[in-house]
Amino acid sequence: MSEDFHASKPIYLQVADRICYSIVRGEIKSGEKLPSVREMAVEMGVNPNTIQRTYAEIERDGIVETRRGQGTFVKNDPALIASLRTRIQTEVIETFVENMKEIGLSRTEMLAAVQQFLMKQGEAE
Amino acid sequence: MIIELREITKKYGSVVALDNISLTFEVGKIYGVLGANGSGKSTLLKLIAGLAKPDHGVVTVEGVAVSRRIASAVSYLTEIDFFYPNFTVGQYIDFHASQFADFNRDKAIEMLAFMKLDVRKKVRSLSKGNRGRLKLVLALSRDAPVVLLDEPFSGLDVMVRESIVRSLLSYIDFEKQTVIITTHEIEEIEKILDEVILIKDGQIMAKENVEDLRESSGKSVVGWLKGHHR
């Protein structure tokens, strides 16, 4: 248990992020059933009302669907993973670009820095 | 709304423990009551449990004015670390089952196993941590609509505190039960709380939804508390 959460973002959204990451990484497959609200609450160490909110949120986002009496399932939609990956990717890049701007890098400098970094990493591997 | 306190004042002699407070609690939520020693936290729980009488105002549980008889609807874990030393764990379960009609023996047995408590052991031979676990088993094994936990973590180490948090999540019936916890150990339980209530010198300083707190002010309860202490 004892998952750590950031102070600045509601826990229900942080749990939603984690589920999305797991789907993108293939740890949760499309069409797969998510743990029940209670199971997920115990696993994450958070209030079940929070998980309820998480499930409602990702259902609104079209990532999962609730089937009456059966539980919550990841949508069986091949386009889903691709769109989730794009979404997460955009978020990561946004943060990265923000940070780079803050230390005063121009667009070209950013691109050059990334290229150089990847090249170095390639050599190391 | 399952619990309501209306214009409650409670004095002990000339000391005012609670000063004209009004509060309501909803079904299916976990409330954390925070405050320094002597702030009035324990008094608040005792008033709901029918163990103390207000000098002014009314406390109701499920619409019924609270008296000592409310014990049938309210499960109460005291902060006092007291047991009859010669009782075994099993005898404690039997005793509580004999006192409370809503005592759920199956749940108790399951929780004992979860907490790794041996029914044959005498309470005298239990560690402080295991006494704390036993207290929680006894309080949570009742299918009572209201569960009051007064300092359930006090003096217990991290491992025990974690097992308590986990059993709260596993064994509370969120459809029917309302839980109020007083504590100093906010970091451990803030993830399982719906709302926090801050008491100081017998008055309610604030009552906030934990997730709204993060969303609107970008703060965890710990950060929020620091702001309030300044």
pLDDT at B188: 80
Instruction: Cite the beta strand spans of chain A per DSSP E.
Output: 64-67, 71-74
Check B218 against A8: CB less than 8 A apart. yes
Check A48 against B174: CB less than 8 A apart. yes
**Residue from B173, B214, B224, B225 whose CB has the most chain A CBs within 10 Å, to mutate:** B214
The edge-to-edge listing of strands for the beta sheet with B203-209 is B74-77, B146-150, B178-183, B30-34, B195-200, B203-209
Q: What is the mean pLDDT of residues A69-75?
A: 93
Check A47 against B169: CB less than 8 A apart. yes
pLDDT at A1: 43
Q: The domain at A11-76 falls in which architecture? A: Orthogonal Bundle (1.10)
CB contacts, 8 Å: B29 with chain A: 49
Check B214 against A11: CB less than 8 A apart. yes
- Nearest-CA distance B189 → chain A (Å): 9
**Taking the domains of chain A in order of start, what are their residue ranges?**
11-76, 79-124
Which residue among A10, A41, A45 sits closest to B211, beta carbon to beta carbon? A10
The edge-to-edge listing of strands for the beta sheet with B56-61 is B15-25, B3-12, B56-61, B64-65
Percent of chain B's residues with pLDDT above 90: 73
List, for residues B102-143, the tens digit of each pLDDT value.
Answer: 999 999 999 999 999 999 999 999 999 999 999 999 999 999
CB contacts, 8 Å: A11 with chain B: 191, 210-211, 214
List, for residues B6-54, the tens digit of each pLDDT value.
Answer: 999 999 999 999 999 999 999 999 999 999 888 999 999 999 999 999 9
pLDDT above 80 (res A115): yes
- Distance of alpha carbon B64 from alpha carbon B52, whole angstroms: 16
Strands B64-65 and B56-61: antiparallel
Percent of chain A's residues with pLDDT above 90: 74
Nearest residue of B to residue A41, measured between CA atoms: B169
Residue B43 CA neighbour count, 13 Å, CB half: 27
Please report the DSSP string for chain B in residue order: --EEEEEEEEEETTEEEEEEEEEEE-TT-EEEEE--TTSSHHHHHHHHHTSS--SEEEEEETTEEP-GGGGGTEEEE-SS----TT-BHHHHHHHHHHH-TTB-HHHHHHHHHHTT--TTSBGGGS-HHHHHHHHHHHHHTB--SEEEEESTTTT--HHHHHHHHHHHHHH--TTT-EEEEEES-HHHHGGG-SEEEEEETTEEEEEEEHHHHHHHH---HHHHHHHHH-
- Distance of alpha carbon A110 from alpha carbon A95, whole angstroms: 13
Q: What is the CATH number of domain B3-229?
A: 3.40.50.300
Which residue among B166, B193, B220 sits closest to A47, beta carbon to beta carbon? B193
pLDDT at B27: 94
Nearest residue of B to residue A2, measured between CA atoms: B162
